[in-house]
Amino acid sequence: MKSFIKDPQSTCCDERNGNGGSEPKDCLEKWRDELEQVCIDYKIEAAVTSKSKEEYDNSTGWEIKLKNWCELIETTDEKVKAALQELEFLLKQVITVCVKSKCTYEVLQKLTCLVKTIFDCFYTYEKNEVGLKEKVEEFKKLIDCLKNLGDKDKADVIACIEAYEAKLTAVCELQQSVLEKILETLKCADLLWAYICGTIGLEDKLEALRDLLKGDTPVVDPDYCPPEEPENGSKYPCDYEEEKPMPEFPIKEDTNDPNTVSGNAYYEKIKKEFKQAVGKTKELKQAWIDKKDISDRTLSEKNSLTDAIKASEALDTGK
């Protein structure tokens, strides 16, 4: 029995009305021709789908990077604001220390002068200002010269004076060590004020850092070189702003509208690019899905023709 699939006269495979061919083809031959064309179409569509998928994957990767950068920028902004609060608190404490250290330094100055004045009382520097030690010596001589006082009484008085003189001597011997300690303390107070409150002290540095984080002062790098004539190769560090820009503060500014992006130029740029990347990724995803649907239909047609040809060949050979 002859298979209708191999019969060119079979009406189920008659394509004379379809392509105007002069000779009829059997079904198997027709399917093979269709499979050849479908394979060519599928290769083209699969390549287009693959390219579309690659574009979608690249866009997704770029979107994720921009999303991570935005999150990093926003996290950094939160840390900067937290650091600014701590900095403000620290600056207040430093200002308090400056006020107290200045007062302490002034009091120590007065104390140093007072202690020096006390010790100066023991010595004679000018004839019209006789020191206490010299006065005691003269007092002893005067007692010894008294005629109406007995030797025993003179000895008792002089003994008292000598005891007082010994104490004066002991006090005078403390002068160097006491003054050294006071001057050392005064020096430390002076250094404390200079390092904390001076023109290049901690207070100035904290104020500069606070102003930088608040964006109150422009950032000017001392090593920045003005751009010159363009040359081959990198200009760094002379092209400082282009090659290594300083961060701009504040990074992000809070707004009542959640859809409004406000902050420094870099943050606004990244946010804008992220929004564009989200839209582009959606477009590329839909384009890839549409192309995949087309290639999947062609693949299904290819598989159907392949299965039909195999079944036909098996039927024809009786296997």
pLDDT tens by residue, 144-191: 777 677 778 778 888 888 888 888 888 888 888 999 999 999 999 888
Q: What is the DSSP letter of 222?
A: T
Query: What is the C-alpha to C-alpha distance for residues 26 and 309, in angstroms, rounded to an integer?
Result: 12
- The CA-to-CA distance between both ends of the chain, in Å, stands at 15
Residue with token string 């937290």: 82
Residue with tokens 């010894």: 144
Token pair of 286, please?
């839909």
Predicted local confidence at residue 162, as pLDDT: 86
pLDDT band at 1 (very low <50, low <70, confident <90, very high): very low
Please state the domain extents for the chain.
25-244+262-317
Percent residues over pLDDT 90 in the chain:
36
Tell me the C-alpha distance between 168 and 162, whole Å.
10
Task: Name the token pair of 76.
Answer: 């950094």
Does the bond joining 258 to the residue before it have cis omega, within 30 degrees of 0? no
Q: Please give the Cα distance from 64 to 26 (Å, whole number).
A: 55
Provide the mean pLDDT of the chain. Answer: 81
CATH architecture of 25-244+262-317: Orthogonal Bundle (1.10)
175: which residues sit within 8 A by CB, 6+ positions away? Answer: 119
Residue 129 backbone phi and psi in degrees, to 5: -130, 90
Q: Give the number of other CB atoms < 10 A from CB of residue 40.
A: 11
* pTM over the 0.75 mark: no
Cite the DSSP H helix spans in 174-231.
Answer: 175-197, 202-214
Name which of 74-88, 111-125, 275-289 the model is least confident about: 111-125
